[in-house]
């Protein structure tokens, strides 16, 4: 009997001999993506991951050849305008332009006659989130409204805070510069931040997603990890299903990628493998287990309040600065959303920024944005356990029980 279950279709295509264009075109053919190009003269926005100014070989930003191939694909349908846009991490003016330049994407847009523009340089609109989980509204570019078609071009990378950054997390780039740290500060726990990500995705939801799996990043992603040549392109319409499938490919437990369940509950896509159909490459043939980030969410079958408490105590991370690498460039203290980092008293080589553990919300922005990979996190479980109220309470209870037992023995 034929199943009536609606499935999300995902195309998986290998990149052979670095022929990115063929892989992109084939994957889009497999999902019949041309049905989205309903007429000539469409306005199309491509949203790559442009986290920071790093060259393609560092695998931080969407690879420029993926962007070029998608531009070529869109051009076949005579659009009126193609925009390539993002808003990078960091608040300093010019950071997105630097990412566009150093990623090589700016040069490709020049060659292709396409406009490469930071979202923050376009007209702003306040977007209201329907049925919000965490944020009611946010400001972004008018292009989200104006575009006939938004194409998400995320990259497969580990993420210190969220474990994985790909389809859903990439649309956080539609939040403009300084508003990103504000979102971190407002949604100060991982639980609340992932809810905010889902809210943002619900507004900026792309109609089509093409994942850059040419080079991924494992380990200390999204900016300081190890590039992995995966030679893959994934394409589909459902970003939740695509993220779920990426977890399968890189060997991550999807329950640790908190935004997946939330996005499915909000009706944004499918997070259930039995409802996802892959076409093209056999999933078993493309699996490549990723080294997870050192610090990552811990899934525990505990009540939420207890899991939150343990996360804030035993698993609490401390920010560490590397004296040899730090150039006192000010990126970390100007971008910390809660002012938990300040400049050293004297700006001179060998000094490092000051970190305030009581203010820190462990949002990982400093690790993510340091251009010199000079910030890291460490968790000292023993120290944390010794200083947590849970341990103090436990030790206290044990002392009381021992005293009662001793008293009873005396009697």
Residues lying near ligand SF4 in the complex (CB under 6 A): 319, 321, 326-332, 336-338, 340-341, 353, 355, 360-366, 370, 372, 374-375
- What is the closest distance, in whole angstroms, from the C-beta atom of residue 265 to ligand SF4 in the complex? 27
Q: Which is nearer to ligand SF4, 188 or 385 (CB)?
A: 188
Q: Which is nearer to ligand SF4, 329 or 385 (CB)?
A: 329
- What is the closest distance, in whole angstroms, from the C-beta atom of residue 361 to ligand SF4 in the complex? 5
- What is the closest distance, in whole angstroms, from the C-beta atom of residue 366 to ligand SF4 in the complex? 3
Integer CA distances (angstroms), 402 to 114, 387, 392, 399, 407, in order: 75, 22, 15, 5, 9
- What is the closest distance, in whole angstroms, from the C-beta atom of residue 247 to ligand SF4 in the complex? 24
Q: Are 361 and 337 in contact, with CB atoms under 8 Å apart?
A: yes
- What is the closest distance, in whole angstroms, from the C-beta atom of residue 226 to ligand SF4 in the complex? 19
Cα(224)–Cα(27) distance, integer angstroms: 29
- What is the closest distance, in whole angstroms, from the C-beta atom of residue 87 to ligand SF4 in the complex? 18
Cα(80)–Cα(131) distance, integer angstroms: 34
Q: Which is nearer to ligand SF4, 45 or 360 (CB)?
A: 360
Neighbour tally for 76: CB within 10 Å: 10
Integer CA distances (angstroms), 177 to 164, 199, 365, in order: 21, 18, 12
Q: Are 87 and 96 in contact, with CB atoms under 8 Å apart?
A: yes
Phi/psi of residue 84, nearest 5 degrees: -115, 115
Q: Are 240 and 271 in contact, with CB atoms under 8 Å apart?
A: yes
Q: Which is nearer to ligand SF4, 269 or 293 (CB)?
A: 293
Q: Which is nearer to ligand SF4, 30 or 329 (CB)?
A: 329
Q: Which is nearer to ligand SF4, 185 or 273 (CB)?
A: 185
Neighbour tally for 296: CB within 10 Å: 20
Q: Are 103 and 173 in contact, with CB atoms under 8 Å apart?
A: no
């Amino acid at each position: 009997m034929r199943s009536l279950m609606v499935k999300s279709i995902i195309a998986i295509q290998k990149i052979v001999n670095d022929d990115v264009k063929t892989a992109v075109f084939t994957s889009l053919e497999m999902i019949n993506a041309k049905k989205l190009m309903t007429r000539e003269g469409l306005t199309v926005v491509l949203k790559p991951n442009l986290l920071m100014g790093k060259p393609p070989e560092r695998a931080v930003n969407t690879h420029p050849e993926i962007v070029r191939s998608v531009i070529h694909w869109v051009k076949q349908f005579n659009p009126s305008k193609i925009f390539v846009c993002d808003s990078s991490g960091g608040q300093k003016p010019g950071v997105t332009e630097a990412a566009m330049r150093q990623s090589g994407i700016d040069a490709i847009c020049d060659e292709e006659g396409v406009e490469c523009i930071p979202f923050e340089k376009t007209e702003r609109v306040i977007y209201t989130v329907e049925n919000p989980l965490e944020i009611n509204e946010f400001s972004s570019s008018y292009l989200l409204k104006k575009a006939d078609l938004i194409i998400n071009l995320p990259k497969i990378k580990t993420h210190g805070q969220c474990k994985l950054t790909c389809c859903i997390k990439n649309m956080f780039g539609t939040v403009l510069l300084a508003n990103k740290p504000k979102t971190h500060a407002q949604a100060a726990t991982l639980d609340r931040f992932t809810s905010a990500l889902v809210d943002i995705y619900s507004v900026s939801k792309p109609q089509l997603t093409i994942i850059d799996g040419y080079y991924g990043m494992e380990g200390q992603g999204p900016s300081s990890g190890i590039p992995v040549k995966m030679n893959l392109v994934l394409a589909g319409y459902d970003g939740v299903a695509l993220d779920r499938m990426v977890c399968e490919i890189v060997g991550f437990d999807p329950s640790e990628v908190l935004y997946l369940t939330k996005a499915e509950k909000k009706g944004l896509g499918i997070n259930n493998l039995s409802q996802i159909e892959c076409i093209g490459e056999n999933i078993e043939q493309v699996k490549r287990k990723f080294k997870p980030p050192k610090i990552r969410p811990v899934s525990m079958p505990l009540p939420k309040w207890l899991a939150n408490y343990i996360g804030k105590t035993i698993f609490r991370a401390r920010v560490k600065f590397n004296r040899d690498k730090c150039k006192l460039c000010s990126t970390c203290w100007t971008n910390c959303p809660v002012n938990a980092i300040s400049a050293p008293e004297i700006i001179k080589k060998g000094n490092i920024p000051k970190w305030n553990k009581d203010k820190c919300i462990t949002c990982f922005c400093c690790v993510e944005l340091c251009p010199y990979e000079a910030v890291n996190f460490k968790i000292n479980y023993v120290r944390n356990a010794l200083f947590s109220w849970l341990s103090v309470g436990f030790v206290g209870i044990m002392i009381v029980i021992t005293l009662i037992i001793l008293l009873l023995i005396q009697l």
